[in-house]
Structure 1
Amino acid sequence: MERVELIAPCHFGLESVLKREILDLGYEIIKVEDGRVTFRGDQGAVCRANLFLRTAERVLLKTGEFKAVTFDELFEKTKQIPWEEYIPEDGRFWVTKAASVKSALFSPSDIQSIMKKAMVERMKLRYRKERFSEEGASYPIRVFFMKDIATVGIDTSGVSLHKRGYRQLSSKAPITETLAAALILLSPWKKDRILVDPFCGSGTFPIEAAMIAANMAPGLNRSFTAEEWTGLIPRKLWLEAADEARELENLDVETDIQGYDADGEVIRAARQNAADAGVEHLIHLQQRLVSELRHPKKYGFIITNPPYGERLEDRESLPQIYREFGESFRRLSDWSAYVITGYEDAERYFGRKADKNRKIYNGMIKTYFYQFMGPKPPRREKRGPEN
């Protein structure tokens, strides 16, 4: 298995950010679709993609793609996949997730059951056994139907990649780490620029920004299902990827990243999360109301996820919150603001129409990424050699 095809699912609307990440890792893009990017690499790509990709939800090792409109077709075509090349005799395998869009086969439980039976039949023929212990490493299968075309892959990640391992404590409506990273990467913010999140909650935006600034691999402090696949991906490839990640990391980088929240308990949780991520020294976290938002310097960035009335009892306070947010933003000379929210009246109470607006699904919640752009800072003059 020298060259492999991998599928990286992501948030709908942020495929371009993930595509750029994959290209930066040096891999070939095969296909970009709604909510996922397919790419090609060597065996080490499984390890590096899991460790380095900030915006992917997981990494799947693609095993097959076929058309199926009946359960008989699904059974036979699943059986044709050379499962024995991926799954050892004692491997634990099951179809953990089935999704279907605009397809004749749409019952997840039936799809899962039939595919498992087909896999067992294939394994019986190849291993010449009637029963399998399934006591070894895990090989969770995922299948996605789109217009009757089934794409099948083995999940190499296990727990979703948004679980970086640092967020033990969270606020009421946390934004996922992968979505936060994608929105930061979608903005023009760079590590030498100011970044403030006035509704930081459990600290996800500041922590992800600090990890980006320090070039810290998001998957370095967690484990992955495919690490157990000793026969498929040599252990040394995981060790090499981890060594590469440590060599690239720079925890001495200078930053101006700040996070505020009105709730002191939440700020304490954010500080603990930042400490667990290893970036507490790169972030300033403070209990502060959005009406008190100030900064003496120009050309900073606000990247934030303000409340948007997920609970009915919170909705009455939203106009005031967004009004105060807008007033504070107008006091910041030449700043830019990038705001993700599901609140339909955000622009109205913020007091300004966004320069750009992007629809993004945060799970099942439709949100908008409002982009209020300030001017670019003047170019710094390059000093030539002294005469």
Structure 2
Amino acid sequence: MSEKLTLIATAAMGLESIVAKEVRDLGYECQVDNGKVTFEAEPLAICRANLWLRTADRIKLKVAEFKATSFEELYEKTKAIDWARFIPETGEFPVIGKSVKSKLASVPDCQRIVKKAVVDKLKKQYKKATEWLDETGSLYRIEVALHKDVATLTIDTSGSGLHKRGFRVGQGDAPLKETMAAALVLLTNWNADRPFVDPFCGSGTIPIEAAMIGQNIAPGFNREFVSESWEWMGASLWDEARNEVEQLAKYDQPLDILGTDIDHRMIHIAKENALEAGFGDMIQFKQMQVKDFTTAKEYGVIVGNPPYGERLGERKEVEMMYRDMGIAFDSLDTWSIYMLTSYQQFEEAYGKKATKKRKLFNGFIRTDYYQYWGKRPPKPSKVE
């Protein structure tokens, strides 16, 4: 299959523009909408997008989009699609769904109608006389999403969500998603030549994502994707995409990355995760309170996801920690500091107004990403 496909990279609220930049960096023009980035590309893009996109949730193949205000209309328009183009005779195709502001509000009924329509069409295309199909082959998970009476039919190409990089051995109580961690790094002015510190590293997610960005390692290099087993894709496309990943990685790029945390158990887990990700010797982890952080290095970047104080009893403790952090970081005038928190009075507690702040959602929690920009590093002198 060489013709262009329509692909959708889904994104958490607030990260759409970052996902769009990643898609464009792969060489694809795209359109940005709430929660998704849509682009047209050849089948190879399924492999490249799954392997390379750090901040997208998953990659979906858009099969069709049409208006549907009755179950009959949904059935007939779904049945009219050339499903054999994507799903083989033995393909397994469960149907999931969602409906927002649409007349067809019953999601289970929509799923049932779409399933029946696809079964009926594939039976005709593969000349099967049985009532149901033998779904023993590769997985092609179909989603019917209705929004304002417009039905969008997609097939998931990722399998597990893209935040699952394949290296997490352990985690804490409220782990930061890898896709969000990558976004926090990409929203900074950091590059691999500068020091990087996460003073609330937990299980090491932010430092590990920074290391992958610093060495240009594709986040999906260490995992599998459901579309790798799709017959019409072919193994050669995935081989080509994985060869590109290997060629573009900068394994020799030195890194200066430090993760600290008050909890010695999390430091142990972070070290195990970094080792599994291939950064055992490149990322340093240390048990430390944020108020004890000092450094003689310059022009570094600090990125943190500190406790938010969401529970009433924690607020005073969190306020004090923010105040101590502000004092500890006060002399770091060449460093840029980025903190994600839902605590609305962060700037007052920290003792300094942010250069900029950006609204983001950490799961379902509305947060702000407070950005304090340090002095720019001097430009390297030209060699005569």
What amino acid sits opposite 1:79 in the alignment?
Answer: K
Deviations 1:306-363 (A, max 9, x none): 1113455534421111111111121323221111112222222111222212111222
Q: Which stretch shows the higher mean deviation, 261-270 or 99-108?
A: 99-108
Match of 2:111 in 1: 112
What amino acid sits opposite 2:124 in the alignment?
Answer: L
> 1:93 aligns to what SS in structure 2?
coil
1:95 aligns with 2:112: no
Match of 1:240 in 2: 240
Q: Which stretch shows the higher mean deviation, 333-342 or 130-139?
A: 333-342
* CA distance in 2: counterparts of 1:251 and 1:284, whole angstroms: 17
Match of 2:53 in 1: 53
Match of 1:294 in 2: 294
Match of 1:38 in 2: 38
Match of 1:163 in 2: 164
Taking every aligned residue pair, what percent have the same amino acid on both sides?
49
> 1:307 aligns to what SS in structure 2?
coil
* CA distance in 2: counterparts of 1:170 and 1:348, whole angstroms: 31
> 2:140 aligns to what SS in structure 1?
strand
> 1:142 aligns to what SS in structure 2?
strand
* CA distance in 1: counterparts of 2:100 and 2:293, whole angstroms: 45
- The alpha-carbon deviation at position 32 of structure 1 amounts to 0.8
Deviations 1:112-160 (A, max 9, x none): 2221122112112222223211001110012333322222211010000
Match of 1:189 in 2: 190
Task: Assess, with a 3 A threshold, how the Cα gap between structure 1 residues 104 and 224 changes in structure 2: closer, same or farther.
Answer: same
Q: Which stretch shows the higher mean deviation, 368-377 or 150-159?
A: 368-377
Please, which runs of 5 or more residues in structure 1 have no aligned partner?
Answer: none
* CA distance in 2: counterparts of 1:61 and 1:48, whole angstroms: 13
Give the structure-1-normalised TM-score.
Answer: 0.95
Q: Is the 8 A contact 2:114 2:144 kept in 1?
A: no
Match of 2:138 in 1: 137
Match of 1:213 in 2: 214
* CA distance in 1: counterparts of 2:311 and 2:113, whole angstroms: 40
Match of 2:324 in 1: 324
* CA distance in 2: counterparts of 1:87 and 1:293, whole angstroms: 56
Q: Is the 8 A contact 2:267 2:286 kept in 1?
A: yes
Q: Which stretch shows the higher mean deviation, 321-330 or 99-108?
A: 99-108
- The alpha-carbon deviation at position 27 of structure 1 amounts to 1.7
Q: Is the 8 A contact 2:50 2:58 kept in 1?
A: yes
Q: Is the 8 A contact 2:333 2:375 kept in 1?
A: no
Q: Which stretch shows the higher mean deviation, 244-253 or 284-293?
A: 244-253
Deviations 1:1-47 (A, max 9, x none): 32111100011111111111111111232x21011101111111111
- The alpha-carbon deviation at position 56 of structure 1 amounts to 1.1
Match of 2:378 in 1: 378
* CA distance in 2: counterparts of 1:348 and 1:319, whole angstroms: 9
Q: Is the 8 A contact 2:138 2:230 kept in 1?
A: yes
* CA distance in 1: counterparts of 2:197 and 2:234, whole angstroms: 42
Deviations 1:98-123 (A, max 9, x none): 23333333333222222112211211
1:70 aligns with 2:70: yes
Deviations 1:229-279 (A, max 9, x none): 12x101011111111111211222111111100000000000000000001
Superposed, 1:5-44 pairs within 5 Å as 5-29=6-30, 31-44=31-44
Match of 1:364 in 2: 364
Q: Which stretch shows the higher mean deviation, 155-164 or 15-24?
A: 15-24
* CA distance in 1: counterparts of 2:94 and 2:172, whole angstroms: 34
Give the structure-2-normalised TM-score.
Answer: 0.95
Deviations 1:20-77 (A, max 9, x none): 1111111232x21011101111111111111111111111111011112222222222
What amino acid sits opposite 1:17 in the alignment?
Answer: I
1:226 aligns with 2:227: yes
* CA distance in 2: counterparts of 1:100 and 1:327, whole angstroms: 49
* CA distance in 1: counterparts of 2:203 and 2:189, whole angstroms: 23
* CA distance in 2: counterparts of 1:36 and 1:79, whole angstroms: 26
Please, which runs of 5 or more residues in structure 2 have no aligned partner?
Answer: none
- The alpha-carbon deviation at position 167 of structure 1 amounts to 1.1
| Stretches of 4+ aligned residues off by more than 4 angstroms | 310-313
* CA distance in 1: counterparts of 2:149 and 2:333, whole angstroms: 53
* CA distance in 1: counterparts of 2:73 and 2:182, whole angstroms: 40
Aligned length: 381
Q: Which stretch shows the higher mean deviation, 314-323 or 16-25?
A: 314-323
> 1:281 aligns to what SS in structure 2?
coil
What amino acid sits opposite 1:161 in the alignment?
Answer: L
* CA distance in 2: counterparts of 1:55 and 1:198, whole angstroms: 22
* CA distance in 1: counterparts of 2:134 and 2:75, whole angstroms: 22
* CA distance in 1: counterparts of 2:193 and 2:300, whole angstroms: 10
What amino acid sits opposite 1:137 in the alignment?
Answer: S
Task: Assess, with a 3 A threshold, how the Cα gap between structure 1 residues 311 and 116 changes in structure 2: closer, same or farther.
Answer: farther
